[in-house]
Structure 1
Amino acid sequence: MRVLFKSKPKTPVDIVRQTRDLLAFADSPPVDTRESKREEKMAELYKNLREMKVILYGNSDAEPVPEACAQLTQEFFRENTLRLLIKSLPKLNLEARKDATQVVANLQRQQVHSRLISCDYLESNIDLMDILAAGYQDTDMALHYGAMLRECIRHQSVAKHVLESPHMRKFFDYIQIPNFDIAADAAATFKELLTRHKSTVAEFLSKNYDWFFAEYNSKLLESQNYITRRQAIKLLGDILLDRSNSVVMTRYVRSRDNLRIMMNLLRESSKSIQVDAFHVFKLFVANQNKPSDIVSILVANRSKLLRLLGKFKLDKENDQFESDKDQVVKEIAALEPK
């Protein structure tokens, strides 16, 4: 007889609705309920988050079912489940935080009727990105909020909001937080913001050129921290060598201060920093409309530069690098003072 009264399996919609109620409970101030009752409800919440993750990712026994994923996604963004989840995250245990982070990441890619409805929701609740970005100031939450933020900025409109927000300036400090894992996570988000959406990034850099590169130079390229310098020069090369940023690149290579920084980085003991600095330095040399002060610096330092480049070898043979280096050497050797 017991089999006849077996409870019906919960649907994806049921799970999301129940999760929403449990998140509201977790976020609300404690009331006079038995501690065991609260633990029971939190355990149920953790179980639901795991079930949502299994629906979206599948497991060793089964692949995700598209229809179930679509139902879950639609119900999740029908009401403020994401807002509740982000607000309640500090009150969850570590495993539940990890599950929640993976659920949010997956939902950014789920389409319902050929639409990324997560993007529509985020555009209407864009203040949630402010909570996630500010999360880098919280040691316990930084990695979870950072991972969520990186997935949300897959959407161009969301990335544009973060780029144009006051949080963008704070990334220069987040990248230098003493906690290595948090600093690395902030650097990964910073890189994603500056490389994923080409046209949005080009517009942002053009509008914010002065303050952005002043911060970039002083806080990152001239940082006392080796890891910070190495990541910064690599990212700078990626930005300036991208065709969509040609206007910004042209402006960057007309600055004597920028050239001075590159020449200093060329003299670093780290081969990886030297190589990445060379890829930016060659842009100054290749510029056919060099300002007179740039030419003067290159001419004044010609013998040192040629000697440095003459000894400059990669660990593995690279024809493109050797060709670029030969061209730079020829250009510098042929320079005449203006």
Structure 2
Amino acid sequence: MAFLFKRNPKTPFELIKTLNDSLLKLDYNDKKIQDDCTRYLKQLRIILHGEDDIEPQQDQIYNISQEIFQQDCLYHLIINLLKLDFDSRKDVFIIFSVLLRRNKEQQNQPPPPIVNYLLNSQPEILLILLRGPETHEIGIISGQILRECIKYETINKFILYNSLFWNFFNYVQIPIFELATDAMMTLNDLLTIHRKQVSEFLNDNYDKFVTTINNLIDSENYVTKRQSVKLLNDLNSSRANSKFINKYYDDTVNLKKTMRLLSENSKNLQLEGFHILKFFMANPKRSQKINDLLIKNKINFLIFLKNFDVESFHDPTLTDEKDFVLQEIERLPDRKE
């Protein structure tokens, strides 16, 4: 691999120092510095990840990784991400990915050093990544790096309990479709990968979370509305979230939101609303306030269910679920005038 360093730094220390020095000088209008950063990043990526017939060597990975952390190279890369060209940004993602995946395939191994580095030495990196969707040019790559980071439970917890987490409920409504979609992917991963941890978070933040996601479900944007209700259904389907679920299905505000979904013109939104409704009906401990609201709207539910064409979704389980919900609604006493 010596050919990589011809006319370039020869040791891991020199390579990282030279890369950092170039990043500090990086300017949109200085092509030479841009080219230098591109070249050094490519060298670093090949050492860590390999390329074509070049296999990465474990001793070289270890040595270069040590220098990356000691010289805060990742921090310099992230704060200059916007100034790097497209290919260099991809190299930054690969570098993060390789460092995050060290030890990942081996059982009973501690998290790789980058996890401790991000949480204890340079948490600012995570905070910068969390703000990524605010800048169009680096929003996608920031999201990709962040999703690699949150595969680790400790990093996921750091983000969930940081105030910047709540910004993602705004980012998913960004008018730029690609950015909004990427932000929703990150939000979904944050709330679904580490189930036990998320359960604790939802218990600690029930009121704020439900209010926030209900606001998304009220969005005029179809994609935002549908993705938000799908996320909610996923959370409500997880047994780990039992305390959250009990609160959710004892809240008449949530039942009213469900009724609005059933009245949508979109069949897909009606289906998502139906999935929520079936859990209201399957709850063996329905409170009186929930029963009162169901009774009040019994006729409307019956009309919806009799016209709800489940066969168009090509899911045989829906027919049985519809029959169950219909029977439960019919068992409700008629509304007293």
TM-score range, shorter chain: 0.7 to 0.9
State the partner residue of 1:333.
330
State the partner residue of 2:101.
109
More deviation, 174-183/123-132: 123-132
The equivalent position to 2:147 in structure 1, one of 146, 150, 153, is: 150
Q: 1:158–1:299: structure 2 CA closer, same or farther, 3 Å change rule?
A: same
State the partner residue of 2:264.
268
TM-score by length of structure 2 reads: 0.87
- Provide the C-alpha distance between the structure 1 equivalents of 2:250 and 2:52, rounded to a whole number of angstroms: 56
Offset of residue 50 of structure 1: 2.2
DSSP-derived class of the 1:49 partner: helix
Q: Does 1:309 align with 2:305?
A: yes
Give the gaps of 5 or more residues in structure 2. Answer: none
- Provide the C-alpha distance between the structure 2 equivalents of 1:63 and 1:272, rounded to a whole number of angstroms: 48
- Provide the C-alpha distance between the structure 1 equivalents of 2:332 and 2:237, rounded to a whole number of angstroms: 24
- Provide the C-alpha distance between the structure 2 equivalents of 1:135 and 1:10, rounded to a whole number of angstroms: 33
Give the gaps of 5 or more residues in structure 1. Answer: 1-6
Q: Which amino acid aligns with 2:71?
A: E
DSSP-derived class of the 1:278 partner: helix
The equivalent position to 2:74 in structure 1, one of 82, 104, 110, is: 82
Q: Which amino acid aligns with 1:274?
A: Q
Offset of residue 53 of structure 1: 3.0
- Provide the C-alpha distance between the structure 1 equivalents of 2:178 and 2:26, rounded to a whole number of angstroms: 32
State the partner residue of 2:162.
165
Contact 2:298 2:334 (C-alpha < 8 Å) held by counterparts: no
Q: Does 1:320 align with 2:326?
A: no
Offset of residue 18 of structure 1: 1.3
- Provide the C-alpha distance between the structure 2 equivalents of 1:319 and 1:23, rounded to a whole number of angstroms: 59
Offset of residue 104 of structure 1: 1.4
- Provide the C-alpha distance between the structure 2 equivalents of 1:249 and 1:65, rounded to a whole number of angstroms: 49
Q: 1:271–1:202: structure 2 CA closer, same or farther, 3 Å change rule?
A: same
- Provide the C-alpha distance between the structure 1 equivalents of 2:51 and 2:84, rounded to a whole number of angstroms: 23
Contact 2:219 2:225 (C-alpha < 8 Å) held by counterparts: yes
**Aligned runs of 1:1-338 on 2, under 5 Å?**
9-10=4-5, 14=11, 17-28=14-25, 39-62=31-54, 64-66=56-58, 68-111=60-103, 114-115=109-110, 116-124=112-120, 125-218=122-215, 220-312=216-308, 313-336=310-333
**Identity in percent:** 31
Contact 1:282 1:328 (C-alpha < 8 Å) held by counterparts: yes
Residue deviations 1:154-198, cap 9 Å, x none?
111111111111112211111111111111111111111111111
Contact 2:143 2:182 (C-alpha < 8 Å) held by counterparts: yes
- Provide the C-alpha distance between the structure 2 equivalents of 1:223 and 1:153, rounded to a whole number of angstroms: 27
Q: 1:63–1:22: structure 2 CA closer, same or farther, 3 Å change rule?
A: closer
Q: Which amino acid aligns with 1:208?
A: N
Q: Which amino acid aligns with 1:176?
A: Q
- Provide the C-alpha distance between the structure 2 equivalents of 1:19 and 1:52, rounded to a whole number of angstroms: 8
Offset of residue 306 of structure 1: 2.0
Q: 1:213–1:106: structure 2 CA closer, same or farther, 3 Å change rule?
A: same
DSSP-derived class of the 2:254 partner: helix
Q: 1:294–1:28: structure 2 CA closer, same or farther, 3 Å change rule?
A: same
- Provide the C-alpha distance between the structure 1 equivalents of 2:306 and 2:47, rounded to a whole number of angstroms: 59
- Provide the C-alpha distance between the structure 2 equivalents of 1:17 and 1:295, rounded to a whole number of angstroms: 71
- Provide the C-alpha distance between the structure 2 equivalents of 1:129 and 1:260, rounded to a whole number of angstroms: 37
Q: 1:9–1:174: structure 2 CA closer, same or farther, 3 Å change rule?
A: closer
Over the aligned positions, Cα root-mean-square deviation in angstroms equals: 2.7
Q: 1:67–1:307: structure 2 CA closer, same or farther, 3 Å change rule?
A: farther
- Provide the C-alpha distance between the structure 1 equivalents of 2:311 and 2:96, rounded to a whole number of angstroms: 42
DSSP-derived class of the 2:137 partner: coil
Residue deviations 1:45-73, cap 9 Å, x none?
21222233344444443555555444443
List, as ranges, runs of 4+ consecutive aligned residues in structure 1 with deviation greater than 6 Å.
none
Offset of residue 232 of structure 1: 0.4
Q: 1:80–1:224: structure 2 CA closer, same or farther, 3 Å change rule?
A: same
- Provide the C-alpha distance between the structure 1 equivalents of 2:253 and 2:334, rounded to a whole number of angstroms: 19
